[in-house]
Structure 1
Amino acid sequence: MSSKVFLDNAANIVAQDSFISTFHEVQKVSGLNIVEQLWAAYYLYLNNDIFATGLLFFTLHELMYFGRCLPWYIIDHLSYFNKYKIQAAKVPSDQEQWECLRSVLISHFLVEALPIWFFHPICEKIGISYQVPFPSWTTITLQIILFFFLEDAWHYWFHRALHYGDLYRLIHKQHHRFAAPFGLAAEYAHPIEVMLLGFGTVGIPVIWCYFTRNLHLFTISIWITLRLFQAVDAHSGYEFPVSLHHFLFIWAGADHHDEHHHYFIGNYASSFRIWDFVLDTEAGETARKSRERKAKISGELRAAAKQVN
């Protein structure tokens, strides 16, 4: 399948015998920035859109996930940062990190890799664009913000469901092996959980485009990168004075998700604190005291009502 990433005025550009020479040819097209030029040259040089998209997203996932995990692995081995560790007495051992890494790699290659190679035909079917130029940054930003909120809702309800009965025992319990999470544990999960919660990341943009016919693969690439960073950071186990939730109060962050692993219940949302706050499913000591205070007030009101009657 030949590539179709160019505008009409660049239809005469053909792949050269190397990526560099193909890139130089693409540079002759006016109006494209450097990222758009690299994107177009990549698809044109490989000359097989299914393979190009599959390779792009598999490589992106591996590089972004493990690239974001590596700093946390290093931090776990530096005693200076222990003062920022949420559960300071529970620093993961190298053995735990290795077992987690092995499981995640198996999941990546045996569970997640195969569907990636079917992604491009789906894109073509529902109108996800991969041509250049890219959409405006305003469009990209607004869509990514929307995906964050929609994925958060999806994650909250299905994650909460996984904490009930056999769903927890047979599926979600694996992810809770580590009561003090660390970066690599973000995708340490049962294959069913990987697919179920992963649908919120990949499926929501697909559904969005099915109804709007307005989405670009470049936008999905940025979205997946940010979502991976959020997931890894939420499992990092560290709370810093510059952590994002100090500046964006609805942001969940590591302190929010660490309490979920510590108490094994509550704090089900992924990116934001809204669902847990509104539905009274917050975890941790602060949330416990808040619920006890609410229960005490409710009891006092009932007692007062009985005295009136």
Structure 2
Amino acid sequence: MSTVYHDYSGFSNITTFGETYAAFGNIEGLNFIEKLWASYYTYIGNDIFATGLLFFTVHEALYFGRCIPWAIIDRIPYFNKYKIQDTKIPSNQEQWECLKSVLTSHFLVEAFPIWFFHPLCQKIGISYQVPFPTVATMALQVAVFFVLEDAWHYWFHRALHYGVFYKYIHKQHHRYAAPFGLTAEYAHPVEVMLLGFGTVGIPIVWCLITGDLHLFTVCIWIALRLFQAVDAHSGYEFPWSLHHFLPIWAGADHHDEHHHHFIGSYASSFRWWDFLLDTEAGPKGKSSREAKMKVKAESKKSI
């Protein structure tokens, strides 16, 4: 029996998922999602398999579930006016070639370590029992993960643009100068593992340091990170895009400049690293650097 719950004394003659959920329905203090979570683990009966299946399925469903709307938008002329590089609409052939590569990566690179994630969780103390932590606790941890992953992504992404690292690893990701949703995970296996550590490794390190993390929080974090990555590669800028309301948010316009100019704008979620270190790509970044150089030159003349 799964260890997702501590007391199964009230459970008897349970053979279906519906009966499992009904049994958890009689337990006070569990919300709808917690009951579903516990019912799933209990019904599967093998926690290692349950976690592996859950994470692989969630990743595939959310990734392609977020990519498909962008692929549809690419085929609707009305939205061309919102396309950042409006003369470079991805063809069906490009979408298909990218899809094949991404699926190969998912099944041959990412699937294998996913099935070993549950034993790692048990070893380092990532909980998966019900009830879940409070919403405030999960929100705080996810916010911290966004900040830390952004720093990891900035420095390692920037490093991948140097010499042999770009030629033999990162160049694959830059095959498409005008990105589209599916290209978010179109990358060399080494890059998938290196930058992917920022998504998976940071929660692991957090748990090793604090001893406080739940697997459901990791699910929420990965879901939001997937949405961010796909949207950043969408190639579309809308009046309602998030960075208009949250100026520090990077968004598609920030990352599209990176693909367009092949250098600069290295961060994933936020703009502060590129702003502080003068690595913003595109005309705006160039104008900003020129303005700072002018101010610096004039200040030297006045001394």
Quick check: TM above 0.5?
yes
Deviation of the 1:303 alpha carbon: 4.0
- 1:246-257 aligned within 5 A: 246-257=244-255
Q: What secondary structure, in the 3-state scheme, does the structure 2 residue paired with 1:6 have? A: coil
* 2:201 is the counterpart of 1:203: yes
Which residue pairs with 1:172 in the alignment?
Answer: 170
Q: Distance in 2 between matches of 1:150 and 1:140?
A: 15
Residue 293 of structure 1: CA displacement? 1.9
Question: How far did 1:26 drift?
Answer: 1.6
State the one-letter code of the partner of 2:40: Y
For the 8 Å contact 1:14–1:22, the answer to whether it is kept is no
> What's the TM-score once normalised by structure 1's chain length?
0.96
**What displacement does 1:291 show?**
1.0
Alignment check: 8 A CA contact 1:180 1:258 kept: yes
Report the CA distance between 1:11 and its aligned residue: 4.6
Instruction: Give the equivalent residue in structure 2 for 1:3.
Output: 2
Q: Distance in 2 between matches of 1:5 and 1:220?
A: 16
Q: 1:31 Cα shift?
A: 1.2
Sort the Cα spacing of 1:182 and 1:16 in 2 relative to 1 into closer, same or farther, 3 A: same
- 1:294 and 2:292 correspond: yes
Using the alignment, how far apart are the partners of 1:14 and 1:197 within structure 2?
46
- In 1, the alpha carbon distance for the partners of 2:56 and 2:197 equals 16
Please state whether the residue corresponding to 2:38 is helix, strand or coil. Answer: helix
Query: Of 68, 92, 95, which aligns to 1:94?
Result: 92
Query: Deviation digits for residues 167-190 of structure 1, max 9, x if unmatched?
Result: 000000000000000000000000
Answer whether contact 1:14 1:44 (CA < 8 A) is retained: no
CA contact (8 A) 1:152 1:270 kept: yes
State the match for 1:282 in structure 2. 280
State the shift of 1:296 in Å: 2.5
CA distance in 1, matches of 2:173, 2:22: 47
Within-5 A mapping of 1:1-309:
2-8=1-7, 10-13=8-11, 16-305=14-303
Instruction: Report the AA paired with residue 194 of structure 2.
Output: L
Query: Over aligned residue pairs, what C-alpha RMSD do you find?
Result: 1.1
How much does 1:304 deviate? Answer: 4.2
Partners of 2:298 and 2:23 in 1: CA distance: 77
Give structure 1 stretches of 5+ with no counterpart. none
Q: CA deviation at 1:19?
A: 1.2
Deviation at 1:42, TM superposition (A): 0.4
- Report the TM-score when normalising by structure 2: 0.98
Cα deviation, residue 74, structure 1: 0.5
> Shift of residue 301 of structure 1?
3.2
Distance 1:234 1:121 in 2: 33
CA shift digits 1:183-232 (9 cap, x unpaired) = 00000000000000000000000110011111101100000000000000
1:162/1:171 contact within 8 Å kept: yes
Q: Which amino acid aligns with 2:15?
A: D
Provide the rounded CA distance (Å) in 2 between the counterparts of 1:16 and 1:248. Answer: 49
Q: Following the alignment from structure 1 to structure 2, what is the Cα–Cα distance between the partners of residues 13 and 173?
A: 55
Deviation at 1:12? 4.0
Q: Determine helix, strand or coil for the equivalent of 1:72.
A: helix
Identity %: 69
Amino acid in the other structure paired with 1:173:
K
SS in 1 for 2:14: coil
Separation of aligned partners in 1, 2:173 and 2:261: 13
How far residue 24 of structure 1 moved from its aligned partner, in angstroms, is 1.3
SS at match of 2:141: helix
Looking at structure 1, the residues matched to 190 and 46 of structure 2 have their Cα atoms a distance apart, in angstroms, of: 31
Q: Give the AA of the match of 2:95.
A: Q
Q: Equivalents in 2 of 1:222, 1:91: separation in Å?
A: 32
Deviations 1:157-176 (A, max 9, x none): 00000000000000000000
- The alpha-carbon distance between structure 1 residues 15 and 128, as it changes in their structure 2 partners (threshold 3 A), is farther
Q: Is the 8 A contact 1:15 1:45 kept in 2?
A: no
